[in-house]
Structure 1
């Protein structure tokens, strides 16, 4: 079974991560790392605490950011991909500058040094120059920045449709086929 790490930070957009877990949990061995800020935002946005999420996804491994007893904290254990979703500006900054002060940052550092696909689903807006420079550093180091920007060409009818757009784009970027998003069709008759 392929292994994927999903990191959840304190940026708004916890729903993206929960949907990603829903889509992947049956076919992938998931390891979810959550920050303290993520647990606060989870309660605020979704009305659930981390323990409720752990019960909902009892077949998924969960780690608090302070728990380094995760096999992916070492380069000797390699997941197929590491996805930080949603990714806060603070986490982007830490990854861009090679910090490893918590488990999530350490796993990102390992992903970059080991050539593992790393996607940061950046959710914050507007951007300042520091954000852009940090994005550049992550890209130059081999990571992927995927802003949580849903498209509207598929005429979304709900928030869930917009969430599915971002989740589909993220999964497509790491080579996971899915049916969350209909491909764009050109109406040009030429």
Structure 2
């Protein structure tokens, strides 16, 4: 008898209204391509930013958005689920739901503030509150410049609570040749933190390891 297929890794993903929609969309694409189950939450502000920064015009309803993104990224049926801002029965809304990591990418400074103070006025904020109280992985990707004292204090507070802050600040040591390379730098770091395999960017030192593993002539 054939063994049952391994269950999909579930990732909760939220887009909020910070600039940098391309990071979140690329992460979504990579997670789906890697076979992950994705529970997606999109704020109203994020929809405005996505329409401003990309050619995408996401449908307004969760059901239509789910169908649109499933087709765009060629996901399997049911692999991507989109939940509305007040869908309190969504799995990310309760500690009794599946113990999946949450990534907020990009993460607005308003969302940082809400998470740092325990606000739960919508599903994204509640999902972050659940991740913190359940000690589940919570990765936040802020994109702002400059950061005010309030922003920095909120990031410090959240870090002390157990969240991981990964600012959308790409490195250049991989000699990027395009904007897409800069986006992939951050997305690769996110995938590494989520334990999802990626080939977007070699990890630091990999080339040196391969060189040292070659047999001597």
Range of TM-score over shorter length: over 0.9
1:60 to 80, 85, 88: 80
Larger radius of gyration: 2
1:28 and 2:31 aligned: no
Partner of 2:126: 106
Unaligned 5+ runs, structure 2: 1-7, 72-78, 209-217
Cα contact 1:4–1:79 (8 A) shared by 2: no
1:96 and 2:87 aligned: no
Count of residues paired in the alignment: 187
Partner of 1:116: 136
1:50 to 51, 58, 77: 58
Unaligned 5+ runs, structure 1: none
Moved more, 85-94 or 63-72: 63-72
1:38 to 46, 62, 66: 46
Supply the distance in 1 between the matched residues of 2:160 and 2:69 (Cα, whole angstroms): 37
Cα contact 2:17–2:107 (8 A) shared by 1: yes
Residue 176 of structure 2 aligns to a residue in which SS?
A: coil
Aligned-residue CA RMSD (Å): 1.7
Instruction: Give runs of ≥4 in structure 1 deviating > 4 Å.
Output: none
2:175 to 151, 155, 166: 155
- Deviation at 1:53? 5.2
- Deviation at 1:64? 2.5
Supply the distance in 2 between the matched residues of 1:168 and 1:48 (Cα, whole angstroms): 23
Cα contact 1:153–1:184 (8 A) shared by 2: no
- Deviation at 1:78? 2.5
1:4 and 2:11 aligned: yes
Is the strand fraction higher in 1 or 2? 1
Supply the distance in 2 between the matched residues of 1:85 and 1:178 (Cα, whole angstroms): 18
Supply the distance in 1 between the matched residues of 2:83 and 2:50 (Cα, whole angstroms): 15
TM-score computed with the length of structure 2 as normaliser? 0.81
- Deviation at 1:175? 2.2
